[in-house]
Amino acid sequence: MIRESFKRPHERLKVWQDAMCLVEDVYRFSASFPETERFGLTAQVRRAAVSIPSNIAEGAARRSKQEYLRFLSIARGSLSELDTQYQIALRLGYAVGSASLDESINRTFAKLNALLKALAPARSAS
């Protein structure tokens, strides 16, 4: 159940909303994996997906920008992990490619990178 009356700060972030949709896409995608992968790739791909919005939310709740950036960076690492596991699943023939999942991964990458860039301290040109 989604709370409409009071949204937490991370729930207002478009990247978090997209990451939540990504989790749903991953669960649907991985539902067709072989039963023998239940504790293997299925669990790994789902754990990586869940880690993305979780780290965005945790970072948004931190008090310093440095901590926020660190958790966003962890989320980006989990997204890269997920993308790799997606490619492995396709190579092993556990599922067919999903245009929706491809788009969801790409959109989340783009928004996460944009947020990281916007929050990162400006570097002086030397």
Listed by start position, the domains of the chain span: 10-119
**pTM exceeds cut of 0.75:** yes
8-state DSSP, 44: H
**pLDDT score recorded for residue 120:** 86
Domain 10-119 annotated CATH 1.20.1440.60 = yes
CA angle 54, 60, 64 (to 5 degrees): 130
Dihedral sign, CA of 44, 52, 67, 8? negative
Query: Please, is 74 exposed, middle or buried when counting C-beta atoms within 10 Å of its C-beta (0-12, 13-18, 19+)?
Result: middle
Residue-level pLDDT, tens digit, the chain, 126 residues = 555 557 788 998 999 999 999 999 999 999 999 999 999 999 999 999 999 999 999 999 988 999 999 999 999 999 999 999 999 999 999 999 889 999 999 999 999 999 999 998 766 555
60 close to 9: Cβ distance less than 8 angstroms: yes
